[in-house]
Structures are given as C-alpha cells and as structure tokens.
Amino acid sequence: MMKLKLLPFFLIIMLVGLIFGGGNTKPAFAEERPLLLPAPVDCSTCCKKVNLYPGIDVNNLMQIKYIIKYTKFAKDQESVGNFVMIDRSGLKRTRKWQRYRVILEKDGLDYKDLIVLTEPQHIKGLAVLTWMYLDPNRERDNWIWLPSQRKIRRASPAEDDDAAFGSDLTTEELTTRNWSSETYKFVKEDATFAGYTSQYTGKTYYKNTPSWVVEATPKRKPWYYSRRTLFIPKDIGAQVHDDVFDPNGKKFKDILRTYEIRDNGCIPMNYVECVDHRTNHTTAVEIEWIRFNSGVDEKLLSPKALMRTKW
C-alpha cells in the first residue's frame, strides 16, 4: 500500500527531471544538432559545411569556431605564407612558412599539425609539430625541431605563452589553444561589429557585420590573459576580432582574422594580424595559398620525419 502511495511522488520527480534536464543547460531529449553537415559524396575537393543553426548555444558555436580554426571541415590542408613582424620603429622582418595538417579523428588522435619556417636561410627548417588528442583531458604532444643543432625537443604546456617564432602571437594562440581551454558566455547574441582597421594594410574589415559577441575565460589560472572578447560574424562562425585583456583587466592585444567563404564549403582563414599595445609591435600573418583534401601524407607529421626532411 505504501508503494502505491509513493508512486505519484516518483512520477512527479521523473517529470520534473524530464522538463528541467537534471541540471543540464539543454532539456532532456533535446535534439542533438550536428556541428558539421556532410560534404557531397561526388565532390572530392568539397568540405563539410558548418551548421550555424538558429538559436545555437555558445558552447556549440565555440566548437564550430575551433573546427574552422583547425580546418576540421576537411581531411587535410597545406598552406604557404609569411610572418611579417614590425617593431615600434617600423622595421620589418619576414619569415616564410609552410603548414601541413591531417585530420584523423580516430585511434585517439584528433589531428596532427606541422609548421615549418623555410626562409630566411639562417632559421630554415625550424619546425613545430603538434599532435592533438580526442580526449580533452589528455595533454597534447608538441615537438620543436632545431635544425642548426640537429636536435628535436619536446615542448611543455608551460611554454604556451611564449612567442611563436618570435612573433606577437603566443604558441597557444597559433597552435595549441582548443575548445576545452576556456569557458564561454554570450555577451550579445544579436550585435553589429563596427569593423576593425588594420594597422598593416590600412583596410577596414567586416564593418557593420551582424555578429555574436562571446566572452572566453581561460581555465588556466594564473595565466597571461584574463579574458577575451570575440566578435563572430553570423555567416562565418569564427571570430574576426579578439580583444585580449591582461590579468589586471586591461586590454593589451587586438587580433584580426579574415576568412574566405568558398562555394565548396571550405572556410579558410586567409589573414591574421596581432597588435601588442604593450610593445607597439605588430605581426601580420599573410597566407599566400591554402588547399584542402590534397592527400597530405600523415607520415610527414612525425618526429622522425622532422629529422629526415630537408626543407
């Protein structure tokens, strides 16, 4: 008899759980939205399309942002470009690079990424190899190849705030930051980005663009920045501008990113600019060309291959 009296109570508890999702941000049985839509099966050069569905939540939006950053809409990518580093006096230094990435998403591996400097001659062959894993709790593997010493060494996450190849971008900003590195919240879901004028090209980009505004806070504490404010156009899904704030809450960096939206679904980043207001230095990352699904050989992206390859 007691069991029969308790039955309505348990039914109410179950109903509350179904409605409120047991404390999750999504209701129970909410439809899971794919973040990538399949590429046409008869198109070998096409990419998967990001799914910026109406009412997208901030965590899914930021996962799409990293899909675009690390070109996970494709099977692989290779690109060539330049770092142009400008000091406060206007003096320029240029370093040419090649980049290769293979998207795996199997055997515990997410992707492998390699950046190699090819000019000037005295640093030719200097390379950073990164292996990222599907398990967000597993530390990624990083190797640095020092050709002048014929030596390869592992890089520690403690070095993530170091300058990448002597630029104004950190190693984290260039290669190692991922979705699980930060927590996120919407500042505005229907904003208009005013635009940003490049200090290097003089052009204004993305003026009056409908955007999301997201605040990203690093989980790592203390860290070299306290938060980032990201402006993400609604037709791209990745940020075109970062305001980066130091541990005292003062903005110390502007980072601009531009993209090319291709008809085949690929969305390559084609320019990056970082202005460090503490040093009055600017780094421009010019991307001369980038191609996808060209069959990059995974064997190239290994520590042994680094030691054998002549760039």
| Cα–Cα distance measured from residue 223 to residue 229, given in angstroms and rounded to the nearest whole number | 16
Q: How far is CA 126 from CA 130, 168, 264, 295, 298, in A?
A: 14, 18, 33, 23, 19
Q: What is the pTM of this model?
A: 0.87
Q: Using one digit for the tens of pLDDT, what is the confidence trace for 5-15? A: 444 433 333 33
Q: Round to whole Å and give the CA distance between 6 and 39.
A: 52
What is residue 310's predicted lDDT score, i.e. its pLDDT?
A: 73
* Banded model confidence at residue 106, pLDDT cuts 50, 70, 90: very high
Residue 174 tokens read as 């260039």
277 in Cβ contact with 253 (< 8 Å):
yes
- Residues ≥6 apart with Cβ < 8 Å to 87: 279, 280, 281
Provide the pLDDT for residue 75. Answer: 98
Mean pLDDT of the chain: 90
Angle (CA) 302 308 311, round 5°:
95
- CA gap 137, 226 in Å, rounded: 22
Residues 6+ apart with CB under 8 A from 119: 94, 95, 96
* Residue carrying the six token digits 């060539």: 80
Question: Tens of pLDDT along 221-255?
Answer: 999 999 999 999 999 999 999 999 999 999 999 99
Asked if the model's pLDDT at residue 188 lies above 90, the reply is: yes
Domains along the chain with CATH numbers: 49-308 (2.50.20.10)
What are the distances in angstroms from CA 294 to CA 79, 102, 161, 193, 263?
11, 10, 32, 35, 17
Say which residues have a Cβ less than 8 Å from residue 304's Cβ, sequence separation at least 6. none
Query: How much is the pLDDT for 108?
Result: 96
